[in-house]
Structure 1
Amino acid sequence: MKNLLIATAVLLLSACAKTPDWDYDKSTNFSNYKTFAWMPSASLTKNVNNYQISPLMEKRVREAVNNELQRQNMQLVDVAQADVLINYHASVDTKIDVDTVNIGYGARWNYWGMGYNTQTTTREYEVGTLILDVVDRASNQLVWRGAKEGRLKKNQTPEQRTQIVNETVAKILSNFPPQPQQ
C-alpha cells in the first residue's frame, strides 16, 4: 500500500487531460451553502510518503481551493459558522506502461526462413490523485466529492507546481455546486 492518502493532492497533477470525477447527494440543496471552512483534521500530508506531497503542496492546494470557492461567492469563515467543511486527500500510485512492437522481417543469407522481432518496453510512472470532499457541517454528511488524477512530473519549478495545482483544483470544482439536470 504505497501512498494511501490523497491530497487531492494535488495533485501534483501534471498535465493530464483526464476529466474529473464527481459524485454528490441529489437531495442536497446546494444553494443554501454560502460559507465554508476547512475540516480541523484535514491534512494532505498525513499518511502519504511521497516527496511531492509536502507542506508546500498542501499550502498550494488550500490556497487554490479557497480562491476557487471565493470566486463562486462562498466566504471562508470559522468552523463554527461554516455551512460546509472542506476535506481533501491525496494519493500517489505507481503505474506501468507496456508497449509491444513487432519490428522487421528478414531472411539471412545462406539460411532458409523468415522471421521478425518483437520488442517490449515497460515504463514505470507515478499517478497522483487529488480528492476534494464537501461535508454538510450541520449533519456531518458528505454531500459532494470531486477527484482528478494525472501523471506526476518531477523537476518542476515552484511556479509550475502552483499552476498545475490551480488548474487541477479549478477542474475539480468546475462542477461545484452541481447544476440541476434539465
Structure 2
Amino acid sequence: MKNLKFLLITLIITSCGTKVNYDYEKTTNFNEYKSYNYFDGMKTGLSELDTKRLISTMDAKLKTMGLIRSDNPDFYIDIQSQDVQNRNNKNVGIGVGGGGGNIGGGISLGLPIGANKNTRELVIEFVDDTKTGMFWQAISESSYNPNDTPEKREDRFKTVIEKVFSTYPPKSE
C-alpha cells in the first residue's frame, strides 16, 4: 500500500512538469542584446486573453533579466503554440486462464489508467533580423486544463516562463 501511495504521488508530480528543449546559434554574443519587442501581427495560437497573459509574464521575467521592451529593439520575439490532446494508451491487463489436458482458455481485459491529458507546445524564438536571423529558441511542452480559471492560467504561464528562461542566456562551452 505504501508503494502504491508513493507511485501515485510521483505520477502526480511528474505529470505537472514542463519539459523544455533549447537551441541557439553558438557564435551569438548574448551580451549584445539589451532590448526586445514582439513581431507585429504575431499568431500565437492562444486566445487573445492568454496571449496578453503570456506577454505580460514574459515582459516581467525579461525585465528581471535586464532586458527592456523597446520600439527600436536589438531583437524581436516570435511566439507560437499549439494544443495537443494526448491519448493515454497505458492500460493494465487482467487475465484469467485455465487448462486441463489438451484444452486451454483465457480471458484478457485492458483497463485504461488515467485520462487523456491536454498539453500545450509553446515555441519562443529570438530573432535578430539585422545579423544572424534566429539566434535562440525554446520549445516547451506542459500539461494544462482548458477550463482553468484566469488565475490558474496566469500561474501556469509563470511556471512555464520561469522554466523556459532558467538557462538563458546559454553558458559558453
| TM-score, with length taken from structure 2 | 0.79
More deviation, 120-129/149-158: 120-129
How many matched pairs?
155
Bigger RCO of structures 1 and 2 (CA < 8 A, at least 6 apart)? 1
Higher helix share: 2
CA distance in 2, matches of 1:119, 1:42: 45
- Answer whether contact 1:60 1:165 (CA < 8 A) is retained: yes
Equivalent residue in structure 1 for 2:96, among 94, 98, 105 = 105
- Unaligned runs of 5+ residues in structure 1 are 1-14, 46-52
CA distance in 1, matches of 2:126, 2:155: 23
More deviation, 112-121/59-68: 112-121
Equivalent residue in structure 2 for 1:85, among 63, 76, 85 = 76
- Unaligned runs of 5+ residues in structure 2 are 1-14
CA distance in 2, matches of 1:44, 1:19: 19
Percentage of matched positions with identical amino acids: 24
Displacement after TM superposition at 1:140 (Å): 6.2
| TM-score, with length taken from structure 1 | 0.75
CA distance in 2, matches of 1:28, 1:180: 10
Equivalent residue in structure 2 for 1:133, among 125, 136, 150 = 125
Report the counterpart of residue 71 of structure 1 in structure 2.
Answer: 64
More deviation, 93-102/62-71: 93-102
- Answer whether contact 1:94 1:127 (CA < 8 A) is retained: yes
Report the counterpart of residue 52 of structure 2 in structure 1.
Answer: 59
Report the counterpart of residue 12 of structure 1 in structure 2.
Answer: none
Structure 1 position 144 matched with structure 2 position 125: no
CA distance in 2, matches of 1:72, 1:30: 12
Displacement after TM superposition at 1:127 (Å): 1.8
SS at match of 1:28: coil
Poorly superposed stretches of 4+, deviation over 4 Å: none
Please give the root-mean-square deviation of Cα atoms over the aligned residues, in Å: 2.3
Displacement after TM superposition at 1:120 (Å): 4.3
- Paired residues for 1:144-163 under 5 Å: 144-163=136-155
